[in-house]
Structure 1
């Protein structure tokens, strides 16, 4: 069962990048994101009123504002850059790989910014991860050289990755514990407001009539959000942090293969080499973390929703996430 749940989690989470590619063909990025989060916010708001009222008791205005800021970084900022990069022509596999380096970067920055211990093996893993990103990005850019993809478009996914890093540190410094259901509701409501305002300002709030648009929206809501985020928490509770950390780094190769098969995106020897180097980086960092004998941490994803103190939380980001994610929500 754990194996089946893990496989389903990888597929559902990777489907978010594929759904972004589907939506990019029928509407602007802000239009797709607006209509992705409006129904989500409505459903989660209804659930909050009817089923999870007890989880909201005692929640302060400061905690709500902090979760809104985390949601704006980990969902709104992250997803906007992902969708925009794919709309500009960057392949879904390259976007997934760049965003997938977030745990390594968060782990490395925990040292110089917060004085947390970062081993030489972790720095080596970060270097390998960056090398893998460079290989895949160059391969993608070379394959698209005759197309319409501008060179600066490959910097857009990095903005999303750093948005996730900022959310990780903000979440890690939260002094109070917020229930995952509450955090996810606040994150989605924040994103619904942000993307509705952006779409209205751009004159792109009205959804297109094409069936392909609503197919992409259904894909993103059912597979990427409910499937991805729901299975994220289920696998985390059943199998632990190490398992989730490992699975998060399988997203890039799965997305690259999926994008190549479904959309004909470039996937050559150099792309395969870059993905292999990226997975090697994860192996190096995880072995270094285990060898140091330090406690495991919680994965930091696109929709972070659990915290246990300021320095301890970011220390977990440095040790747990560097060892192996939305929303990673994300979570996306």
Structure 2
């Protein structure tokens, strides 16, 4: 009799609707807000650079960023036991780091320190996908579509208008911004070609650690490495290292796991305009009409060139 009751109980449990599985992971609104948070945080790097270069020479700020971020990431590598690059791969990782870190940020920070608005520097940096596509077309023989050529033309006109309006403020800053863009773009192509097998954590640590001594030599040789405002310098350095070097890096990798790389890449088209708005809100740095027109045309051009 007991066996029959147990059988009926088992049949009733089997026929009952299954309880809904518990939800795991972050709420939907959190995941949906991550791209917007990423754009704001990425754009804030230019504002922090403006504050930091007002408090200390730009190459000194760049050296401190690389040194602190390199030590922090090296600790992460040791704790997580990530493999360090060795041999020829290590040399390629060092070259990549010098291009993408030392050349890019050394030039960008010096341009900002020379008085170039952060929004304009962000606009020039935003042409990285365009320059990479051109490199792929001329060096690797990849086909460039008519839509891409149209995007290059529209974006080029936008940059020309924005740069033309800033010639009276800092010609050297404009030249340095394009040097930084070249370092970023060449470094990206070099990284894709020669460092595919490197661990992201350890290779990024090597990027910073290899670039820090270069920036130290340059700040000692070319600047008077003296901090005039320790509060502004410390605050901007902490923001650049913790938020821009670590926080946005984690958000970027999270989005790349959830979305296509091309979709994530389109977020960078928003950074020049967001940088300009943040500069106006935070440090009261405004842009002229030519710079605003350039931002609009530049963003439209890069978007056209990057769309499939």
Task: Place the TM-score, normalised by the shorter chain, in its bin.
Answer: 0.7 to 0.9
Matched residues in 1 for 2:284 and 2:195: separation? 47
Match in the other structure for 1:229: 249
Contact conserved, 1:78 with 1:164, CA < 8 A, in 2?
yes
Match in the other structure for 1:278: 298
Contact conserved, 2:92 with 2:195, CA < 8 A, in 1?
no
Unpaired runs of at least 5, structure 1: 290-332
Matched residues in 2 for 1:258 and 1:165: separation? 25
Match in the other structure for 1:38: 67
Matched residues in 2 for 1:200 and 1:188: separation? 18
Equivalences for 1:230-309 in 2 at 5 Å? Answer: 230-287=250-307, 289=308
Greater shift after overlay, 8-17 or 82-91?
Answer: 8-17
Greater shift after overlay, 103-112 or 131-140?
Answer: 131-140
Deviation at 1:60, TM superposition (A): 2.7
Deviation at 1:232, TM superposition (A): 1.5
Match in the other structure for 1:179: 199
Contact conserved, 2:56 with 2:229, CA < 8 A, in 1?
no
Deviation at 1:247, TM superposition (A): 0.4
- Spell out structure 1 runs of 4+ moving beyond 3 A: 200-209
Matched residues in 1 for 2:137 and 2:127: separation? 17
Q: Aligned match of 2:139 in 90, 113, 126?
A: 113
Matched residues in 1 for 2:252 and 2:211: separation? 19
From the superposition, tell whether residues 165 and 283 of structure 1 become closer, same or farther in structure 2 (CA, over 3 Å): closer
Deviation at 1:176, TM superposition (A): 4.2
Deviation at 1:137, TM superposition (A): 2.0
Q: Secondary structure at the match of 2:286?
A: coil
2:96 counterpart of 1:70: yes
Aligned residues: 279
Contact conserved, 1:17 with 1:92, CA < 8 A, in 2?
yes
Contact conserved, 1:44 with 1:185, CA < 8 A, in 2?
yes
Deviation at 1:2, TM superposition (A): 3.0
Equivalences for 1:1-332 in 2 at 5 Å? Answer: 1-51=30-80, 53-56=81-84, 59-141=85-167, 145=168, 149-174=169-194, 176-202=196-222, 204-205=224-225, 207=227, 210-287=230-307, 289=308
- TM-score of the pair, normalised by structure 1: 0.78
Greater shift after overlay, 263-272 or 11-20?
Answer: 263-272
Q: Deviations over 1:252-289 (max 9, x none)?
A: 110111112223323244333222212222332244x2
Contact conserved, 1:253 with 1:275, CA < 8 A, in 2?
yes
- TM-score of the pair, normalised by structure 2: 0.84
Matched residues in 2 for 1:14 and 1:82: separation? 14
From the superposition, tell whether residues 249 and 226 of structure 1 become closer, same or farther in structure 2 (CA, over 3 Å): same
From the superposition, tell whether residues 281 and 246 of structure 1 become closer, same or farther in structure 2 (CA, over 3 Å): same
Contact conserved, 1:68 with 1:187, CA < 8 A, in 2?
yes
Matched residues in 2 for 1:199 and 1:255: separation? 27
Matched residues in 2 for 1:67 and 1:118: separation? 29
Deviation at 1:153, TM superposition (A): 2.7
Q: Deviations over 1:282-322 (max 9, x none)?
A: 332244x2xxxxxxxxxxxxxxxxxxxxxxxxxxxxxxxxx
Matched residues in 2 for 1:104 and 1:121: separation? 12
Contact conserved, 1:108 with 1:122, CA < 8 A, in 2?
no
Matched residues in 2 for 1:209 and 1:123: separation? 46
Match in the other structure for 2:21: none
Match in the other structure for 1:326: none
Deviation at 1:224, TM superposition (A): 1.3
